[in-house]
Amino acid sequence: MTTEDVTFFFDIKKESNQTTYLHNTQLQDEQRREHIVLFEDDLGIFIEALSMLLGRLSQDLKQG
């Protein structure tokens, strides 16, 4: 599988109880779907973790 076979969709949605969440869908080969749902209360923690992960990846790539 290459990155060309994968498509990502990010949607910000609101539940009937007015809770906001981020719905991330990964579509592979136009058939297989994987979903991640992040509620507003957890979004800050997710962004912080993702930032740390990408920072570490950037450092590793610079070092070779």
The pTM for the full model equals 0.55
What range defines the domain where residue 47 resides?
3-63
DSSP labels, 22-41:
EEEEEEETTTEEEEEEEEHH
| Contacts of the segment 31-35: beta carbons below 8 A, 24+ positions apart | none
Identify the H or E element spanning 54: helix 40-63
Q: Label residue 3 by pLDDT band (50, 70, 90).
A: low
Indicate the pLDDT class of residue 53, thresholds 50, 70 and 90: very high
pLDDT tens per residue, range 4-48: 678 888 999 999 999 899 898 988 877 778 888 888 888 889 889
CATH of residue 48's domain is 3.10.450.700
At residue 1, the pLDDT reads 44
Domain count for the chain, please give it.
1
